[in-house]
Amino acid sequence: MKESKLHAMLTAVIDIVWLGLLWLVCSLPVLTLGAASTALYYSMVKCVRHERGRATRAFFGSFRQNFRQATLLWLLCLGALALGLADVYAFSQMGAERGDFLYGFSRLLLLPVPVLFPWIFAFLSRFQNTVAGTMRFALYLAGRHWKATLLLTLELGGTLLIAWLMPGIVPLLPGVVCLLMSLSVEPALRELSAGQGTGEDWYNE
């Protein structure tokens, strides 16, 4: 009994690290980061949390299935980030200094992407919808579950800070952070899917 539990734990740890590495490799072109994030979330929940299927197969299955829509959504995120950074630069050129209203306002323009990012690609990993529909549901989820949204944003910001301070552990971060984020996201997705069904028995267990 102890050996089976130990084996299951070791398998989970290996899958967490392996899925994180797959995410890193598949995100290298940058433009594919959306599809890689969708695949990471899907395979993490299915294979690690629900212990169903093989991690690699689940990852690439989701990657292929959601590639087009995930890439479009990620391009929208990149565009929003670019506009936000352009505003930051413009306000700085206007003389906005730390503590000024314009300084703070320009930084707030960067928040929508990190706030919505976890919801967008987690939703896409579970539900079929249009690009516009996915964005609407992400906004709905972020607002309805604002405490989870705050925690997710802090986790994402903390991950970037850790990666900056300790780049040597970057390969370990994606899988671990995705697993932590799923603890906040899954209750919201389950609530959303109640009575609708997802077409996958493992998710409704």
pLDDT at 106: 56
* Alpha carbon 23 to its chain's center: 11
pLDDT at 181: 97
pLDDT at 92: 66
How buried is residue 17: exposed, middle or buried, by Cβ count under 10 Å (0-12/13-18/19+)? middle
CA distance 44 to 148: 19
Among 87-101, 116-130, 152-166, name the one with the lowest average pLDDT. Answer: 87-101
Say if CB 187 and CB 56 are below 8 A apart.
Answer: no
How many CB atoms are located within 10 Å of the residue 96 CB?
18
Both tokens of 97, joined, read: 């200094």
Query: Mean pLDDT, to the nearest integer, of 139-165?
Result: 95
pLDDT at 97: 58
Query: Mean pLDDT, to the nearest integer, of 120-127?
Result: 95
Longest dimension (CA), the chain: 67
CA distance 126 to 39: 10
How buried is residue 21: exposed, middle or buried, by Cβ count under 10 Å (0-12/13-18/19+)? middle
pLDDT at 161 over 70: yes
Say if CB 16 and CB 179 are below 8 A apart.
Answer: yes
* Percentage of the chain modeled with pLDDT above 70: 82
Among 15-19, 106-110, 188-192, name the one with the lowest average pLDDT. Answer: 106-110
pLDDT at 112: 85
Query: Mean pLDDT, to the nearest integer, of 36-46?
Result: 97
pLDDT at 71 over 70: yes
pLDDT at 194: 75
pLDDT at 202: 63
